[in-house]
Each structure stands twice: as structure tokens, then as C-alpha cells.
């Protein structure tokens, strides 16, 4: 797959914040230490030029520094239980696996799943139907049952927090949907599926593979021409 700069940027930020919130890591507690941690963990893959990577690193330094000093970083009443924690849940025919950025616990026993985002525009409504966050909910509620569990996103660019508490019914429906989609994926005959060209193929990492299919390649060239997208000759 082609490296993408936004993944590298997100991975670098996550690594710096992981060290900042890791209670066993007493070496990263100040702005300067958090920025140094970002520099140590900087992933430069996917940038078009050294200048673009340097600009991104400068933005990353600003975001990390602003985050460390922001009240959004962590409620003083909360204790961090886990950082970058992988959890698993047996779903019958398959296992659900997720890596949670951070889990905080409040004195009244409620838990908060915290997810860092380098993008903006997250809403309560979106968070309630977010597949990754609801998967984290299922995983954490299985590991630590009978607790109230909140889903929280921190937008690093603006230091805003959005937080929701999905109800049992929402999560039950979500679990049913995951089981049904997972079962369908497991039982499909992939060798018989033919790729169909569509506008989103332009940005797909698997485009080169689908283009080996002659009918797909023909249909895709029309889409690429219609939309002014990259023609096949440049792929």
C-alpha cells in the first residue's frame, strides 16, 4: 500500500500522547518533553517532500504543546487506566479486536474511552454511530462490566471534546450488526466477486489490483475521464 502522510501524522501524534498519558512513563510530563517525544516518534513516510514533512512536524509540535496545556487533555478528577490498550472479544465465529487510545476512570466508577483525532468536525450524533468507537464500547464493557462508559473524542487542532454515552439498546443493535456483517464477510466467495468501477475507486489503495480485470479497467477509464481524475496511463 502507498504510505499516506495523514496516517504518519496521526501515528506520530498518538505516540507522543501515549507517552504523555502513560502513568508508568515519568519522563514525559511537560510541554518540552511531549514535543521531544513527538520528534523522537516522528514518522516521515508518505510526505511528498522534506519541506512538506517539516511543515507537518511544525504543526505537530504546536498541536502537542497546545494539548498538553489544555484542560481538554484530562479532567483532574480522572485517573488513566490504560493507554494504547488492545482488547479482544469473542463474537462466536470471529474475534473483535480494537486498540483504545486511552481509558480514564472517574471517582464515581464511570469510564471514559478517549480517542484523539487530528481532524475536526466530530459531533455527538456522529460519535453515537461511529463504528470504531462503538466497537471500543463493546470491548471495554466486556472487560469491565456494569459500569457507565462514555465515548469521548478530543480534536487536537481545536482542543475540543465531544462526549456521549451510548445506551444499552444502541450497543445491542450495533453488536447484532457487527455479527451479521462479520458472518457475511466470512462466508463470501471472494473469488467470484467482480470489481465494479465507481468514483471512490480513484483513491483506493487496491486500484492497481482491480485494474488487472479488463472490464473493470474499461469502466474505470470512463469514470476517470468523466471526473477529470487520473487517467489509467498514469497509474
Judged by the rule CB under 6 A, the positions of this chain that interact with ligand SF4 are 195-196, 200-201, 204, 206-207, 210
Minimum gap (Å) between residue 185 Cβ and ligand SF4: 14
Cα angle 51-54-55, degrees, rounded to a multiple of 5: 90
Helical spans, DSSP H, in the chain? 5-21, 31-40, 50-69, 124-128, 131-143, 168-187, 207-210, 214-226
Minimum gap (Å) between residue 194 Cβ and ligand SF4: 9
Identify which of residues 181 and 204 has a Cβ nearer to ligand SF4 in the complex. Answer: 204
Minimum gap (Å) between residue 198 Cβ and ligand SF4: 6
Identify which of residues 144 and 223 has a Cβ nearer to ligand SF4 in the complex. Answer: 223
Identify which of residues 103 and 201 has a Cβ nearer to ligand SF4 in the complex. Answer: 201
Minimum gap (Å) between residue 204 Cβ and ligand SF4: 3
Minimum gap (Å) between residue 228 Cβ and ligand SF4: 18
Rounded to whole angstroms, the Cα distance separating 134 from 127 reads 8
Rounded to whole angstroms, the Cα distance separating 152 from 19 reads 19
Q: What is the 3-state secondary structure (H, E, C) of 213-229?
A: CHHHHHHHHHHHHHCCC
Bridge partners, residue 182, by sequence: none
Identify which of residues 88 and 196 has a Cβ nearer to ligand SF4 in the complex. Answer: 196
**Length reported for the chain:** 235
Supply the DSSP symbol for 107: T
Identify which of residues 128 and 211 has a Cβ nearer to ligand SF4 in the complex. Answer: 211
Place of cell 501524522: 9
Amino acid at each position: 500500500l502507498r504510505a499516506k502522510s495523514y496516517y504518519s501524522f496521526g501515528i506520530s501524534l498518538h505516540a507522543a500522547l501515549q507517552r504523555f498519558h502513560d502513568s508508568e512513563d515519568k519522563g514525559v510530563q511537560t510541554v518540552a518533553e511531549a514535543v521531544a517525544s513527538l520528534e523522537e516518534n516522528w514518522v516521515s513516510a508518505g510526505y511528498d517532500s522534506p519541506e512538506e514533512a517539516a511543515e507537518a512536524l511544525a504543526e505537530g509540535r504546536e498541536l502537542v504543546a497546545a494539548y498538553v496545556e489544555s484542560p481538554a487533555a484530562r479532567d483532574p478528577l480522572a485517573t488513566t487506566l490504560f493507554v494504547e490498550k488492545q482488547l479482544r472479544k469473542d463474537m462466536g465465529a470471529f474475534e473483535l479486536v480494537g486498540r483504545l487510545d486511552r481509558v480514564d476512570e472517574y471517582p464515581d466508577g464511570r469510564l471514559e474511552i478517549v480517542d484523539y483525532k487530528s481532524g475536526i468536525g466530530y459531533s455527538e450524533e456522529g460519535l453515537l454511530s461511529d463504528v470504531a468507537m462503538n466497537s471500543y464500547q463493546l470491548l471495554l464493557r466486556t472487560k469491565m462490566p456494569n459500569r457507565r462508559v462514555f465515548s469521548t473524542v478530543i480534536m487536537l487542532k481545536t482542543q475540543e471534546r465531544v462526549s456521549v454515552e451510548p445506551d444499552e439498546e444502541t450497543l445491542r443493535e450495533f453488536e447484532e450488526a457487527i455479527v451479521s456483517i462479520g458472518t457475511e464477510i466470512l462466508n463470501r466467495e471472494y473469488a467470484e466477486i467482480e470489481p465494479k468501477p465507481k468514483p471512490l475507486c480513484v483513491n483506493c489503495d487496491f486500484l492497481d489490483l482491480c485494474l488487472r480485470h479488463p472490464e473493470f479497467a474499461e469502466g474505470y477509464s470512463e469514470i476517470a475521464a468523466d471526473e477529470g481524475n487520473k487517467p489509467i496511463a498514469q497509474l
